């Protein structure tokens, strides 16, 4: 993808606070490219997802090609290339959680929110129409002692049962 081919509607730029964080970050590494992951995290926090405009901006900041940024974004599951809901719900479904009935939690969430599960290539499928929730399955969240667990944005919820899921959803809806 050469830079001219990207259709960019609204250009992206860091806000003041994020710019400061980025400036501090860049000094940590002998090459600018190494700041790629933290920079993309900051950008995603500000923009919600990594759009072509964000990629172009990050590429300029790190002095690499847009293709390189795209290369990285497509490799890591935590970077989204499409808009996601206000609350991203990640349900762990690896073995220790499966032994503690994560399936029940997932099914309950699905039926409560009346939605499908997002896949990595199709986030829209698992996002509610009002843009409030995105539901996805993830691999072990390193909290198997309190399984089954889910993450809602940055917060971890432990030892879940359908009742606790109800409480949580009520809290998020309010």
Partner 1 sequence: MVQERRILYEHLDVPDINTFDVFRQYDGYTRFEKAIAEYQPDDIAKMVMDSGLKGRGGAGFSTGLKWSFVPKDIKPCYLCCNADESEPGTFSNRYVLEKNPHLLIEGILICCYAMGIETTYIYIRGEFTLGKKMLDAAIKEAYEKGYLGKDIRGTGLNIDIYSHPGAGAYICGEETGLIESLEGKRGQPRNKPPFPAVEGVFGKPTVVQNVETLCNLPFIVGNGVEWYTQMGPTYADTRANPPTPDPNTGTKLYCISGDVNEPGVYELDLGLTCSELIEVAGGLRGEEVKAVIPGGSSAPILTHYELDTRLDFTSLTLAKSMLGSGGIIVMNETRNIVDCLLNIMKFYAHESCGQCTPCRWGTPWVRDIVQRIADGNGRKDTMTRPKFGVAENGRWGDTGETEEIYEDLDLLESVANNIANVDTMTWNTICVFGIAVSWPAVSYMRKFRPEFEATIREGKLVTLPVAEATVPPEENYAYQQRFVPKEFADL
**Binding footprint of ligand FES on the chain (CB under 6 A):** 92, 94, 96-97, 140-144, 147, 149
Least Å distance, CB 134 to ligand FES, is 19
Instruction: Please tell me whether residue 11 binds partner 1 under the rule CB under 8 A.
Output: no
Instruction: Please tell me whether residue 47 binds partner 1 under the rule CB under 8 A.
Output: no
Neighbours of 5 (CB within 10 A): 8
> Rounded to the nearest 5 degrees, what angle is found at the Cα of 18, between the Cα atoms of 15 and 22?
130
Instruction: Please tell me whether residue 171 binds partner 1 under the rule CB under 8 A.
Output: no
Output 16 or 155, the one with its CB closest to partner 1: 155
Contact 133, 127 (CB under 8 A): yes
60, 71, 166, 167: which one contacts partner 1 (CB under 8 A)? 71
DSSP H helical ranges for the chain: 16-26, 36-47, 52-62, 66-75, 95-98, 102-113, 162-173
Element (H, E) at 35: none
6, 117, 144, 172: which one contacts partner 1 (CB under 8 A)? 144
Out of ligand FES, partner 1, none, which partner does residue 149 contact, by CB within 5 to 8 A per kind?
ligand FES
19, 98, 107, 166: which one contacts partner 1 (CB under 8 A)? 98
Least Å distance, CB 84 to ligand FES, is 21
Instruction: Please tell me whether residue 41 binds partner 1 under the rule CB under 8 A.
Output: yes
Output 72 or 165, the one with its CB closest to partner 1: 72
Those residues with Cβ within 8 angstroms of residue 122's Cβ, 6 or more apart along the chain or in another chain: none
Q: Is the dihedral of CA 96, 101, 106, 112 positive or negative?
A: negative
Least Å distance, CB 170 to partner 1, is 23
Neighbours of 80 (CB within 10 A): 20
Determine the 3-state secondary structure of 119 from DSSP. strand
Output 142 or 173, the one with its CB closest to partner 1: 142
């Amino acid at each position: 993808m050469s830079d001219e081919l990207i259709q960019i509607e609204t250009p992206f730029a860091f806000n003041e606070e994020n710019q400061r964080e980025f400036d501090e970050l860049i000094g940590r590494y002998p090459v600018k490219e190494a700041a790629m992951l933290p920079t993309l995290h900051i950008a995603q926090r500000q923009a919600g997802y990594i759009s072509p405009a964000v990629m172009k901006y990050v590429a300029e900041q790190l002095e690499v090609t847009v293709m390189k940024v795209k290369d990285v974004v497509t490799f890591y599951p935590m970077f989204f290339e499409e808009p996601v809901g206000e609350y991203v719900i990640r349900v762990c479904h690896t073995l220790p959680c499966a032994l503690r009935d994560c399936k029940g939690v997932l099914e309950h969430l699905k039926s409560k929110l009346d939605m499908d599960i997002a896949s990595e290539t199709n986030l829209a499928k698992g996002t509610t129409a009002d843009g409030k929730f995105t539901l996805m399955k993830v691999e072990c969240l390193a909290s198997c002692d309190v399984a089954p667990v889910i993450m809602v944005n940055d917060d971890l919820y432990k030892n879940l049962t359908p009742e606790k899921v109800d409480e949580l959803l009520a809290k998020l809806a309010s």
